[in-house]
Chain A
Amino acid sequence: MAAVTLHGIGKRYRLDDQRHRSSLAEQLQKRLARLAGRPAPPPEVAADSEFWALRGVDLEVREGEVLGILGRNGSGKSTLLKILARITPPTEGTAVLRGRVAALLEVGTGFHPDLTGRENVYLNGAILGLSRREIAGRMEEIADFAEIGRFLDMPVKHYSSGMFLRLAFVVLAHMDAEILLIDEITAVGDKGFERKSLAKLREMVGSGRTVLYISHDMHAVRSLCDRCVVLDGGRLRDQGDVDRCIRVYEMLCARGPLAPDRRAAG
């Protein structure tokens, strides 16, 4: 049985978004017009005012599989992970994830500059779904790996950006879940730490977890992934062999960035 199953997943965004973005005044005017019996203005969903960030995505990821998700900027990669992470709902389609899910979409989510490194690790860990006890058990390892030393009990506003990123990354690297959704979190710190973090990532990814991994770093994709998919204009362009998908992706990149109006292809 697949650990992750996607069925016709689609996500539509409205570019003008009258319904929710308008000011209170406009809303009231509309409501009053309706009360007065005047015809409501036609629904303003003109074809060019909406676009599908994702459309018709069917996908199965087996348990323990590491799936690379490739695509140019605006191809729908991040939207896909955000849907699976339950941050935004799909407009259509369904998805089922079997197992505990950890979404690692950003380093340092919820970090507060006035709190110390240690306090932020607790906070960030809790936001990502770790219990207090789980974090306490890992604190020493986290501090060691991040090479933070005595700064652990200082407010993070006094950290260098490298220290901040290292500490934030390490919390992610200690997430314990059966399914990991990872969006480009390796490129932090200097070369030395980058190597170390990639090794850590490989250790996480290699331990039987199911991973969906977004990266523009083809070296990392080659070394981590079992299989890839290529997204383009919100649709699945190709899937399967890692090297073939990388070639398809590079070919797409050679054509240059997606034209803004072509993103809505769907």
Chain B
Amino acid sequence: MAALMDRTATVIGGPPPGLRHDMAELWRHRGLFAMLVWRILAVRYKQTLIGSAWAVLQPFILMLVFTVFFGWLVRIPSDGMPYPLFFFTGLWMWTFVSQAFLAGAGAVVANGHIVSKVYFPRALLPAATVAASVVDFLVGLPALVALMAWYGVVPGWGLAAFPLALAVAGIMGLGLALWFSALWVFYRDTAYLLPFLAQLWMFASPVIYPASLVEPEWRAVFALNPMVGIIDATRWAFAGGPAPDPGLLAISAVAALLVLVTGYVFFRRREPLFTDHA
């Protein structure tokens, strides 16, 4: 009897638990989280020849194409950065965020067979895909270092901003993954909407043009797109770009946080209904 009293009780059908309970629950499932990340990477390496190297090859080849067309032919201003570095830093970050949210958005639906049989905090599914994207992303680092060496770019103080840019990018990717993975369960239209949205978003981000192309009075609005701060900081760190305005970086960081918080709230509200609709 006493032993029973000591154990934590699971209450079903009560009011929804608070954030503190949620966080404890997520922490308790950290082992499963690690396994889910591992599964994504392991399966990919078994099914493909070069695994995460795709995550470098894709932006690298696009960088070559962009350098020829937008660099040498169109002569897009690059704020003094060498074109290959300018495009690669932008594409590298863009590939990370877009892959994180595109793969994360499908995470709940793709794992419907598990969701319908076992309980665990479902947010682990999009979170695991985003974490796997971080691994892919870091695989691109050697390519970047090689490019920097080739162009004789010495990393400066901007390097300190890079971990922050990566964190904001991860927050952004996770926030969008939470939003869209929950939406996808209820609206299969999401599958068709997302690639299109991603394409539009890329043009709204300073991937193939510098943020300085935007008129100064519009930059604060422009920075509401977190990709602006993320890419600017990355170019500052690795491509010898100018130091970005800290105010704009702050706007981007706050916008990304907002996406994560609202995404989590939305996800949690929809989560109980997943199995009845997945």
Q: Is the beta-carbon distance between A86 and B277 smaller than 8 angstroms?
A: no
Measured CB to CB, the closest approach of chain A to B233, in angstroms, equals: 35
Report which of A20, A24, A101 forms a contact with B189, defined as CB distance below 8 A. Answer: A24
Contact of B10 among A82, A96, A126, A155 (CB under 8 A): A96
Please choose the segment from A107-115, A213-221, A231-239 that sits at the chain B interface, where 4 or more of its residues have CB less than 8 A away.
Answer: A107-115
- B119 pairs with A103, CB closer than 8 A: yes
Q: How many interface contacts (CB-CB < 8 Å) are there between A and B? A: 111
Which A residue's beta carbon lies closest to that of B33?
Answer: A126
CB distance from B90 to the nearest CB of A (A): 32
Collect the chain B residues with CB atoms within 8 Å of residue A83's CB: 12
**Interface pair B118/A97, CB less than 8 Å apart:** no
Q: B11 contacts the other chain (Cβ, under 8 Å)?
A: yes
Task: Please tell me if the beta carbons of B113 and A109 are within 8 angstroms of each other in the complex.
Answer: yes
A145 within 8 A of B: no
Q: Is B200 an interface residue (CB 8 A)?
A: no
- Is the CB–CB distance between A114 and B120 below 8 Å? no
Chain B contacts of A84 at CB under 8 A?
Answer: 12
How far, in angstroms, from A100 to B119 measured CA to CA in the complex? 13
Q: A85-B119, A87-B116 are in contact. Are A122 and B11 (CB under 8 A)?
A: no
Residues of chain B within 8 A of A127, CB atoms compared: 32, 35, 114, 118, 120
Residues of the A chain whose Cβ atoms lie less than 8 Å from the Cβ of B31:
126, 131-132
- How many Å lie between the Cα of A27 and that of B276 in the bound state? 19
Tell me if B1 counts as interface (CB < 8 A to partner A).
Answer: yes
A114 B12 Cβ-Cβ under 8 A:
no
Residue A93, interface by CB 8 Å: yes
- Are A85 and B118 interface neighbours, CB within 8 A? yes
Given A126-B35, A131-B31, answer yes or no on A115-B42 (Cβ-Cβ < 8 Å). yes
Q: How far is the CA of A90 from the CA of B277 in the complex (A)?
A: 15
B111 to chain A, nearest CB (A): 8
Q: Are B275 and A20 in contact (CB under 8 A)?
A: no
Binary contact track A74-107/B, C-beta < 8 Å → 1, others 0: 0000000011111111101111111111010110
Is A128 in contact with chain B by the CB < 8 A criterion? yes
Residues of chain B within 8 A of A87, CB atoms compared: 115-119, 275
- Residue interface mask A114-137, B partner, CB < 8 A = 1: 110001001100111101100000
CA distance A266 to B1 in the complex (A): 36
B277: A residues at CB distance < 8 A? 17, 20-21
Which residues in chain B, 1-43, are within 8 Å of chain A measured between CB atoms? 1, 4-5, 7, 9-14, 31-32, 35, 39, 42-43
A23 and B13 contacting across the interface, CB-CB below 8 Å: no
User: A112–B43 contact, CB under 8 A?
Assistant: yes
A23–B117 touching, CB < 8 Å: no
**Which residues of B113-172 have CB atoms within 8 Å of chain A's CB atoms?**
113-120
Asked if residues A100 and B117 are in contact (CB atoms below 8 Å), the reply is no
- Say yes or no: is A258 at the interface (Cβ < 8 Å to chain B): no
The 0/1 profile, CB within 8 Å of A marked 1, for residues 230-245 of chain B is 0000000000000000
Instruction: Report if A226 contacts B (CB, 8 A).
Output: no
Q: Indicate if A50 sits at the interface (CB-CB under 8 A).
A: no
State whether the Cβ of B265 lies closer than 8 Å to any Cβ in chain A: no
- CB A46 to nearest CB in B, in angstroms, measures 19
Please tell me if the beta carbons of B11 and A20 are within 8 angstroms of each other in the complex. no
Bound state CA distance, A90 and B272, in angstroms? 10
Bound CA–CA A92/B39 (angstroms): 37
Q: Which residues of B contact A176 (CB under 8 A)?
A: none
- Which residues of the other chain, A, contact B35 by a CB distance below 8 angstroms? 122-123, 126-127, 132
The answer, yes or no, to whether A178 is at the interface (CB within 8 Å) is yes
> Complex formed: what's the CA distance from A201 to B205 in Å?
58
B107 CB to nearest A CB, Å: 13
Known contacts being A86-B119, A96-B12, is A114 close to B114, with CB within 8 Å? no
Q: Which residues of the other chain, B, contact A13 by a CB distance below 8 angstroms?
A: 276
When distances are taken between beta carbons in the complex, the residues of chain B under 8 Å from A9 are 13
Known: A86-B12, A90-B12, A114-B46. A1 touches B1 (CB 8 A): yes
* Contact between chains at A109 and B114 (CB < 8 Å): yes
Instruction: Give Cα distance in the complex from A94 to B14, angstroms.
Output: 6
In the assembled complex, the Cα of A132 lies from the Cα of B38 at a distance in Å of: 13
Which 6 pairs between the two chains have the least Cβ-Cβ distance?
Answer: A86-B119, A94-B13, A126-B35, A95-B12, A24-B189, A97-B10
Chain A residues in contact with chain B, CB under 8 A?
1, 3, 9, 13, 17, 20-21, 23-25, 27, 63, 82-90, 92-101, 103, 105-106, 109-110, 112, 114-115, 119, 122-123, 126-129, 131-132, 155, 178
Q: What 13 additional pairs, Cβ within 8 angstroms, besides A98-B9, A119-B42?
A: A3-B4, A20-B276, A27-B187, A90-B12, A94-B11, A95-B13, A98-B7, A105-B117, A109-B114, A115-B43, A127-B120, A128-B118, A155-B46
